[in-house]
Chains A and B, each alone.
Chain A
């Protein structure tokens, strides 16, 4: 790669800037004009979505490799680059981010309390997420990663629900404790690479000794693993999800948690394939425990958001398991699962958010028979639950299938163990659906309105995405494979 490459219009910087500009334009609006704040937010979210869709359709999956590369020297004496590019691994993540931001803004259309600050922080968060997915420079990755984390604190503690201050503080401290390992690891990688470059691919080319790879990988794995809710570092996740407001849960569970898995894949596995080989048993073990543990704890929950929170722990375990196999189908499945789980959880939180806004409760025994009072809202939740179980023709089906095929081959015992977890997870999902939406109708909520057509649109978009990639998984897998096959070949 030459020192500077700029292929025409810097589309990736434009995607990133759509959120930064969104942030600044929201800041300029007087706080009492909440309607305008939402319109401006919607505008910038749409710009981001359109640019990302354009990118997705113009991504050449036959060619593979890093495309739309932008690379400019940023700090000379340390070798920091403003370096963006897309390949088959971050392309699905970008699409996911754009879709979730767009639907998230739409979902929060009825928010009135301190709306300006809410949307400003949300755009700041998403700027961090886009930046992390787009950057190929370790310094910038870390900067964006942290930028995406700290808005969570005000977002949860101001607009949150159950035990919001506790949840916000726990989440923030946990996640930043994770970066306490990531930053030293990144600097260590820079030093071992001759202290001349933070460029991920140059560092990959330089290569590290086995000893360094072992140290680096475990630091990166634990650091990013906290955000990916790897068992036993997951405890912040259900608490944080429960406390967060709807759109924040959507972005957080849908997109932000993927940053953790993405970090392990992009930085950890790119730089230290042998380190992964050394630690893969541990990684698979923790992932399997996570899958089963999440499902079992989910079984005992009575709060809808806790149920989703623990199912996320379980589903992110599947991602971890897929990565640990180090095979093409395992990593394909893991990346696909990141995408599918993101869309599905966004739908989950979006429908629970609606039910909670109207009934002011998310405790399962208090609800009951919701499908009679709110048929549409219930339908959204049930579809998300079916996707969560991994019913065929949902996007997550293909993802889980790929991961488990690989897992049973590579880790026979753990793979079968995890499959049992999958059955438990189906059990608890169906149990939740049955208790919440069927059975005795709760008269207290009989008068409540169902989802209006306007507010149904974002949820329908999410369902559309789930079904589309469920029917046509090849559209996504072709893109993912274009990066994963050479990636696995390089191990």
Chain B
């Protein structure tokens, strides 16, 4: 019993944190800075708890819930993403002060739901966890000052999200009908024999659609640009970092159960991978709003991540996990700078970055490193991530796919360079004041830059970790 409790410790901790903030949200007034400070403390302890529980493994709740190194690695990433986003919430001007307690409450709930998601190995558990995280996000997205201006966003996200869940639920019911079980491990045993039947194919594709929706893989991406642009900057950062981790984990787990050789699945993923990379990068070329640009780049990055997954092997999954890790750091680095510059919570345009290197050299450097990382330039983690997923794909004979990926990386470099050019070269139209960067942000910037280079060059021990995590999938 005690052992089971330890297995569930991170989730249990975040439940309590959410309850605390549920209580606080009932108060009529509260100081925003105090709320943030306590939330940051809670998230920090949460991160420590999650790291402490990272070597646990076992099964819970009638084998619906699997705690292994894979799930624990992703839980650490989720806790870290949450901690970082709360760290950047010190100036949460994009959200009305009265809603701050709810904002933290929903964020803790969502993190809890996603932690459950990465451990779930049974279809209904997965569904419940996905819905719990989705509903928290449905509430967080429209939570923005001047909500009228962006009211379309919340409705759009909700409608598309609900449609995706409906399809997924329908897919799950078909899968259950075909295989008489909701345990993923048993489904994959029975499924290959059934793949001749339309019911199984439709069921599988529809249920995967729900996960692809979360990761914003083409053609399930349509919500991403509008939601990125329409949500408060912090909420966007949360969706772009933490929530992406859960989606990636789920897809890896799901394909991991297929035990390798499945040409149909691999071909399906190859098509999605190429479309996602190419579409995301091409549309990003013409964006003016930096959050929209990052939304399209996230679609492209979902494609790169799929390249590791579609190798359907241990090395591929390890590469995808590493890629997710690198993506979390780089993407957060970019968002941190955006949140700091747009500290009144408005949507940042690329041209507003003009003269950033004078207003704050440190933030400019962090942004540049983050963007170079996303573009896959060494010696950053982004390069190593791309290198690993390409290596996994080429090892399975997809040389052409690696070339397509590299050509895409070259295309993406163009729009990342446009942003860097704005930050380092353009003269601002009007004089913007210098940005005051407090010691905490300063330290965080240096940590992020250091982490990006460290992950990128000294990846031996991270390789060991991700490979062990990938091994624990089987």
Contacts and interface: CB of A to CB of B under 8 A. Distances in A.
Contact of A191 (B395, B403, B417): B395
Interface in A120-163: 139, 142-143, 146-147, 150, 153-154, 157-158
A206 B457 CA distance: 27
Nearest to B392: A187
A65 to B, nearest CB: 29
A278 B81 CA distance: 52
Contacts of A74: 460
A154 B422 CA distance: 11
Contacts of B432: none
B421 A157 contact: yes
B421 A180 contact: no
Contacts of B409: 176, 180
B344 interface: no
Contacts of A158: 424-425
- How big is chain A's contact interface, by range? 20 to 34
Contact of A76 (B361, B378, B460): B460
Contact of B464 (A31, A77, A139): A77
B387 interface: yes
Contact of B413 (A75, A77, A172, A190): A172
Given A180-B403, A181-B403, A187-B394, A150 B372 contact: yes
A6 interface: no
A478 interface: no
Given A77-B464, A172-B417, A183 B410 contact: no
Nearest to A182: B406
The prevalent SS among residues of B at the interface is: helix
Given A75-B463, A184-B394, A146 B383 contact: yes
Contacts of A184: 390, 394, 399, 402-403, 406
Given A77-B463, A78-B463, A176 B410 contact: yes
B281 to A, nearest CB: 13
A487 B372 CA distance: 38
Interface residues of B, number: 31
A169 interface: yes
B209 to A, nearest CB: 31
Contacts of A179: 406
Given A147-B378, A183-B406, A191-B395, A176 B383 contact: no
Contact of B417 (A142, A146, A153): A153
B474 to A, nearest CB: 17
Interface string B421-447: 100110000000000000000000000
B406 A188 contact: no
A154 B437 CA distance: 24
B33 to A, nearest CB: 33
A115 to B, nearest CB: 14
A143 B413 contact: no
A37 to B, nearest CB: 14
A446 interface: no
A147 B379 CA distance: 7
Contacts of B379: 143, 147
Interface string B278-302: 0000000000000000000000000
A29 interface: no
Nearest to B460: A75
A202 B446 CA distance: 39
A190 B388 CA distance: 12
Given A177-B410, A181-B403, A184-B403, 4 more contacts: A74-B460, A143-B383, A153-B417, A180-B406
Interface of B: 361, 372, 377-379, 383, 387, 390-391, 394-395, 399, 402-403, 406-407, 409-410, 413-414, 417, 420-421, 424-425, 457, 459-460, 463-464, 467
21 contacts: A74-B460, A75-B460, A76-B464, A77-B463, A77-B464, A146-B377, A146-B378, A150-B372, A153-B417, A154-B424, A169-B414, A173-B413, A176-B410, A180-B407, A181-B403, A183-B390, A183-B406, A184-B406, A188-B399, A191-B394, A191-B395
